[in-house]
Structure 1
Amino acid sequence: MEYNYTEEMRRRLRRLEGQVRGVLRLMEEGKSCKDVVSQLSAVRNASDKAIAHIVAENLQQCLMAEQAKGTQDTGKMVHEAVELLVKSR
């Protein structure tokens, strides 16, 4: 199956990339540990949200594809999606 990564997903990752550059800039400027860690926490939060968004979108695409084929048992897909989310943490 070919996955459809949306512009929203790419936008989230570009925003995350900018946040990481911001953390590096704080480090280069010699900012406090508190400031760096605070920004890294924001990066982690954004990363978690991006993962959840990508998994949810993928699950929706897979479920729709299975429904189009007439498959009723989608429990395995839901289980795999939950496992991905748990593993990412």
Structure 2
Amino acid sequence: MEYHYPDEIKTRLRRIEGQIRGVLRLMEEGKPCKEVVAQLSAVRNASDRALAQIVAENLQQCILTEQEAGNKDTKKMVQEAVELLVKSR
């Protein structure tokens, strides 16, 4: 599969990568559990937002492709996207 997502998504994923490195650093420095958990929570929230954006971008592209091919019934694609998001939680 080809990924043609905006640079914004890649930037978001790089930020998450940095957050993960930050969590590891906190653990290596022996920081309190509360700080580690707070940072992991931020990572999870950022990851959820990135996931939703990726699914939305993909859904949009799939719908446009189907419509260009003459298929106006995209209900199944939307349902699959929703299921994908639900499974990711």
> What's the offset of the Cα at 1:70?
1.2
* TM-score normalized with structure 1 length: 0.94
Give the secondary-structure state (helix, strand or coil) at the position aligned to 1:40: helix
Give the secondary-structure state (helix, strand or coil) at the position aligned to 1:11: helix
Percent identity, aligned pairs only, is 74
Partner of 1:67: 67
User: Within 2, Cα distance between the matches of 1:57 and 1:26?
Assistant: 34
Partner of 1:53: 53
Q: Does 1:6 align with 2:6?
A: yes
Give structure 2 stretches of 5+ with no counterpart: none
Q: Does 1:17 align with 2:32?
A: no
User: How many equivalent residue pairs?
Assistant: 89
Q: Deviations over 1:7-42 (max 9, x none)?
A: 122111101000000000000111000000000000
Partner of 1:76: 76
Point out 4+ residue stretches in structure 1 off by more than 6 angstroms.
none
Question: RMSD of aligned C-alpha atoms?
Answer: 1.1
Give structure 1 stretches of 5+ with no counterpart: none
User: Within 2, Cα distance between the matches of 1:20 and 1:38?
Assistant: 12
* TM-score normalized with structure 2 length: 0.94
